[in-house]
């Protein structure tokens, strides 16, 4: 399950991606548009700026903007920055591995083997899906709703 922090980070990146190449967006406008608590959003944007996703400009006309094209930011990067492991079990995590306490033998564990496959499939989808993809999906879905 995605953490609120991860969902908010993705929503903020979509808003910034929609404005890519234009003027920076201020925190208040992102907070209101995406319904993200302003204080929480400040922490998320600062973390993403420190990780090299965003540029910030102070003063009048200031705010945040993407450092990279939205097509270059994939979901696995955002999730790892904001939410930690992708894997559903610690024994199959690539970056947060921990042996399961109840496991008798990892090498012959059917649960572990299955969830390794789930992790690999999830990683493939998240690596191939970018912020630009989400922006396009949302536009397409909105157009479908209008045409109904």
Cα-based torsion angle of the residue sequence 98, 104, 106, 108 in order, rounded to the nearest 10 degrees: -160
**How far is residue 38's CA from residue 43's CA, in Å, rounded to a whole number?**
9
Question: Is the pTM for the entire model greater than 0.85?
Answer: yes
Phi-psi map region of 35: left, alpha, beta (phi>0 left; psi -120 to 50 alpha): left
Per-residue pLDDT tens for 7-20? 999 999 999 999 99
Per-residue pLDDT tens for 105-148? 888 889 999 999 999 999 999 999 999 999 999 998 988 888 77
The CA distances from residue 5 to 1, 137, 147, in Å, are: 11, 21, 33
Domains, in order of start, for the chain: 1-69 (1.10.10.10), 74-129 (no CATH)
Q: Which two tokens stand for residue 107?
A: 């090498």
What pLDDT shows up at residue 15?
A: 97
Mean pLDDT, residues 93-101: 85
Biggest CA pair distance of the chain: 61
What pLDDT shows up at residue 135?
A: 97
């Amino acid at each position: 399950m995605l953490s609120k922090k991860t969902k908010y980070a993705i929503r903020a990146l979509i808003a910034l991606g929609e404005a890519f190449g234009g003027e920076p967006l201020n925190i208040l406008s992102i907070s209101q548009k995406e319904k993200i608590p302003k204080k929480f959003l400040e922490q998320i944007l600062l973390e993403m700026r420190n990780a090299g996703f965003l540029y910030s400009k102070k003063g009048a006309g200031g705010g945040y903007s993407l450092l990279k094209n939205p097509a270059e930011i994939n979901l696995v990067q955002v999730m790892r920055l904001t939410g930690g492991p992708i894997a559903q079990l610690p024994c199959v995590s690539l970056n947060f591995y921990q042996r399961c306490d109840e496991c008798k033998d990892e090498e012959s564990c059917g649960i572990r083997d299955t969830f390794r496959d789930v992790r690999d499939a999830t990683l493939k989808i998240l690596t191939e899906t970018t912020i630009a993809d989400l922006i396009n999906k949302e536009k397409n879905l909105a157009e479908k709703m209008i045409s109904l």
